[in-house]
């Protein structure tokens, strides 16, 4: 069995007057501290992907979490974030670092998943299913706020073929909007959609071959944006 890793994605560069991963949330705690605490699983190594320009977050991590490896992407695109996260040897459970509803124990569902790679399936969809002009469906009860990409699937997930397909799906669902490689909902979401296409595009399907879903009965996908 391949080694598993937990990788928190916090690679967005800080904005003027805002560093969202260091903001206080409703309970008064710093968001990234909550995500780290709720994501930790005994015996599983944790890493965090941080933009090299985010000196405040890098300092916070070094001061408070010296045992968590900081990974700095070589480029600021979402593809660069994925490449950095998946450069770690072994299966990688990627967690969006701005989740406010994540609960302790959620990540164990991915650690113990029967599938090589997995994506979230929600009881409460994020909206209505999207249907393109060509009839292609994007399910609203499937989302990528947490995902598992196995060591065996990394090359395919990061492949040029998957990236090109992701770009074409974005164009199909958003024909009037140019894709932005720096925005997760543009390229990141559609790379996941392309990789899990046989699940994401067919309502009611929970698995396909060695890829499947992990079920959440609450809105784990809510973030602080």
| Domain encompassing residue 153 | 4-216
pTM value is 0.95
- Is 73 inside a domain boundary? yes
Supply the pLDDT for residue 20.
87
What are the structure tokens assigned to 131, written together? Answer: 């249907």
- Is 31 inside a domain boundary? yes
Supply the pLDDT for residue 160.
98
- Is 77 inside a domain boundary? yes
Give residue 1's pLDDT band: very low, low, confident or very high (50, 70, 90).
low
CA atoms within 13 A on the CB side of 94: 30
* Mean pLDDT of the 166-195 span: 96
- Is 224 inside a domain boundary? no
Instruction: Give the domain CATH number at 81.
Output: 3.90.550.10
Higher per-residue pLDDT: 47 or 25: 47
- Is 65 inside a domain boundary? yes
Higher per-residue pLDDT: 212 or 25: 212
- Is 75 inside a domain boundary? yes
- Is 25 inside a domain boundary? yes
* Mean pLDDT of the 4-17 span: 90
* Mean pLDDT of the 179-201 span: 97
pLDDT value at 14 more than 70: yes
Task: State how many domains the chain has.
Answer: 1
The two beta strands, 91-96 and 142-149, are: antiparallel
- Cβ–Cβ under 8 Å, residues 96 and 32: no
- Is 151 inside a domain boundary? yes
């Amino acid at each position: 069995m391949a080694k598993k890793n937990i990788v928190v994605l916090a690679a967005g560069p800080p904005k003027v007057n805002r560093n969202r991963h260091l903001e206080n949330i409703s309970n008064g705690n710093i968001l990234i501290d909550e995500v780290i605490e709720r994501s930790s699983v005994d015996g599983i190594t944790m890493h965090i992907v941080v933009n090299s320009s985010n000196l405040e977050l890098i300092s916070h991590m070094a001061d408070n979490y010296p045992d968590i490896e900081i990974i700095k992407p070589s480029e600021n695109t979402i593809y660069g974030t994925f490449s950095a996260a998946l450069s770690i040897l072994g299966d990688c459970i990627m967690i969006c670092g701005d989740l406010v509803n994540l609960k302790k124990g959620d990540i164990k569902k991915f650690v113990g998943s029967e599938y090589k790679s997995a994506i979230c399936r929600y009881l409460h969809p994020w909206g209505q299913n999207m249907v393109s002009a060509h009839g292609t469906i994007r399910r609203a009860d499937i989302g990528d706020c947490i995902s598992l990409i196995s060591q065996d699937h990394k090359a395919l997930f990061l492949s040029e073929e998957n990236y090109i397909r992701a770009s074409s799906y974005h164009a199909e669902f958003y024909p009037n909007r140019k894709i932005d490689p720096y925005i997760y909902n543009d390229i990141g979401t559609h790379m996941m959609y392309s990789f899990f296409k046989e699940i994401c595009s067919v309502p009611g399907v929970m698995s396909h071959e060695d890829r499947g879903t992990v079920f959440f009965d609450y809105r784990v996908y809510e973030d602080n944006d």
